[in-house]
Amino acid sequence: MADYRPANDETIPNDERLYVRIYPQGDCVKHVEGNNYRPTGGGLRRYPDEPLSVDLGSRCTPEDTRTRGTDGNFHVALLIAGEVRALGCRISRDPVTDGPVLNPAHALIHGPTKTDDNGDLRGALTQTQFSKLARSALIIVWAPGWNNGQPPAAQPPEAAEAE
């Protein structure tokens, strides 16, 4: 078994903000406390057989992440690099330097799963890692078509406790 994942990029500090797009479908977010929301594990798992695509917060804004190369119909969630690494994931820079949409902020989060017929490690995350990443993330930008770009109204305490 070969490990084709890049090494963890130690030049990305543990306090680096990582922005990830969340497609706004019905069950992609979950209320956590106050008026805060996080993505669900399923909301993060858009391409479960590949590393997770993120943007480095030191190289762009959350709004750049939401709108780059799209109509902007995405939520943006915030992850912190040190929390990602604590789950056994690697982070590597992967700037997009050619093509129709350039992205110097692009990076990848690599997990430990096998994704090819030879059993070689290619960097997809496990379902458990997606779930744990989702629990550490917060939605910081809302898609414009989702409740007029605002979070849902705060839930009564009894509804939040039931989740």
In whole angstroms, give the CA distance from residue 154 to residue 139. 14
pLDDT at position 160: 43
For residue 54, what are its two tokens?
Answer: 């993120």
pLDDT digits (tens, 9 = 90+) for 138-147: 999 999 877 7
Q: What are the residue ranges spanned by the domains of the chain?
A: 17-162
Mean pLDDT per 10-residue interval, the chain, length 163 residues: 88 98 89 90 86 97 96 95 96 96 97 79 88 96 80 54 43
